[in-house]
Amino acid sequence: MPEYKNLLESAYHWERTAADQVFVTQPMGGGDANIRDWTWRQFMDETRRMATYLKSLDLPEKSHIAICSKNCVYWLMADLAIWMAGHVSIPIFPTLTPETVAYIMEHSESKLLFVGKLDPVWDEMKKGVPEGLARVAFPVAPPNDHEQWDAIMEKHEPLEEPVARAPDEMATIIYTSGSTGRPKGVMHNFGTMLTCTIGICKVVNATSSDRYLSYLPLAHAMERWVGECLSIYTGEHLFFAESLDTFVQDLRRARPTLFLSVPRLWLKFQLGVYQKLPPKKLERLFKIPILNRIVKKKILKQLGLDQVRFAGSGSAPIPKEVMEWYHDLGLELLEGYGLSENFNYSHLTMPGDSRPGYVGTTYPEVECRIGEAGEIQVKGPGSMIGYFKMPEETEETITKDGFLKTGDCGEIDEKGRLMITGRIKEIFKTSKGKYIAPAPIENKVVNHPCIELCCVTGSGFPQPHAVVQLSEDAQEAACKGERESIIRDLEEHLRKVNETLATYERLEFLTIVDDAWLPENGFLTPTMKIKRAKIEEAYQPLNSKWYEEKKPVVWKS
């Protein structure tokens, strides 16, 4: 690949050299009957027209422009158009509360908002958008009275001479998901984004022949890096998913060669297979030499994963048993680790070097050390400029010698592989004076088909306990009168989990809650991680009562 100063120059390269090659495939609603392709020529033509429109607004130089949408081709075109016009993009998760939307829009000083593919939750979210703020609607946006993308395309010619952007110029501000307190705006420049993209491209040997399905939120640094930046840099074929309901169908359409997911989805895939082939029957089939390979290939093909050559998992540790199950199918799950603050350019497991519980070794040019209180500290080319309008927080996060304080605790093994052992601020003390790191225990608890989410808590009590939310299938079973069966299963699961824990870590009980934990009601971050403080606050009044019941499984109705 030629040398570029930024990802815009990479896009210009493909526009010149592969104009008629399909770059993006986008479902437009309505299933297979309404799928649209964009060649590089078409993609860049619309991007340049939108850049002309943005230039016509005469906004101050390097203005901040927000994008709020689920993943779609228009998200990418809007982002590049913002850069072409000389401005800075502000991604907004499409599942935030109105209060958080209002905070980000005000704090980021955004001058315009792109509104795109959104659920009905937008009716609430839009209450946080400042009155009078200019808005542009993607063609896939809910009904609205904003400026319309297609109308802008008709009225404006493509911008022939985009603004030149230097590597040290700020490109974007990514607001953290805010699991504790207000989200912080992580500033990244063009040089950082490009360098990290070149780094991962070399590590996974990505080329224009690859295919990728983008569905994890583009507002998150991880998907921005792999779903947007890597696709633009390599020129690979990028597919978007239509919805959760059509996800497997979208996967089969894309047949990705590179695929990233989170443990929750890997577990859902496994449970989907078990619904058609119960574990014991599947195990028997795997033991038959003639059928073994046929069955495994058929499963991967049905999932749309039969062409995957690099399968990544991140966001949380994946259970050892799940990793082994996929490995037996012929798909090695490679875990990675990173933060918005270093554009996720930190650690990755390489093929053949995986170790359950570990997230791999550092990327090229990245250093990692364990600091005070066991904190993981990382230094590399992905480090942020700093937090927007938060100099004190920036100074607290970046050490004088340039290492990023991650806030995570960890250990490094003899091969340099990193294990995450928890968050420093999440550790709590029992009444016996013992410190509990909840994350490793939670990872063991959620390794059960009935459990979707888990929060281990119990500060000030003799032993910790876990509050859990059931999986969709378990919730349906409970509604059909199978509560007692679920309780028995979870009692046995609790017993097995406790056998693996130190005496002081053993859970007194599991509490099943029927309440929905969602980003929209503040129980989860936009990346579907639990908001510990919110959960603890919600159930704190019930803790004493639950301990007094002295049952291994308590069901809060």
Give me the mean pLDDT over the 426-442 stretch. Answer: 87
Residues of the chain with pLDDT > 90: what percent? 65
Give the up-direction half-sphere exposure of residue 169: CA atoms within 13 A in the CB hemisphere: 18
Report whether 437 contacts 431 (CB < 8 A): no
> Does 7 score more than 90 pLDDT?
yes
CA pair distance 89, 76, nearest whole angstrom = 11
Q: What are the domain boundaries of the chain?
A: 7-21+36-231, 427-556
Global pTM reads 0.86
Residues 252-273: tens digit of each pLDDT = 999 999 999 988 788 888 888 8
pLDDT for the residue numbered 180: 52
Q: How far apart are the first and last CA of the chain?
A: 59
Which of 103-107, 180-184, 351-355 bottoms out in mean pLDDT, i.e. has the lowest?
Answer: 180-184
What local confidence, expressed as pLDDT, does residue 178 receive?
Answer: 55
CA quadruple 39, 42, 48, 51: dihedral, nearest 10: -90
Q: Residue 10: helix, strand or coil by DSSP?
A: helix
Q: Do domains 7-21+36-231 and 427-556 have the same CATH topology?
A: no
**% of the chain at pLDDT higher than 70:** 99
User: Three-state SS for 536?
Assistant: helix
The arithmetic mean of pLDDT across residues 288-296, rounded, is 85
How far, rounded to the nearest angstrom, does the alpha carbon of residue 38 sit from its chain's CA centroid? 25
Residues 6+ apart with CB under 8 A from 51: 80, 81, 82, 84, 85, 158, 159, 162
**CA dist., res. 45 & res. 77, Å (int):** 10
CB-side exposure of 473: number of CA atoms within 13 Å? 12
* Fold held by 427-556: GMP Synthetase; Chain A, domain 3 (3.30.300)
Place of tokens 């013992």: 434
Identify which has the larger pLDDT, 36 or 286: 36
| Residue 2 pLDDT | 64
Q: Which CATH number fits domain 7-21+36-231: 3.60.21.10, 3.30.420.80, 2.40.30.110, 3.40.50.980?
A: 3.40.50.980
Q: What is the CA radius of gyration of the chain?
A: 24
Average pLDDT over residues 283-289: 84
Q: What is the mean pLDDT of the chain?
A: 92
Burial (CB < 10 A; 0-12, 13-18, 19+), residue 275, is exposed
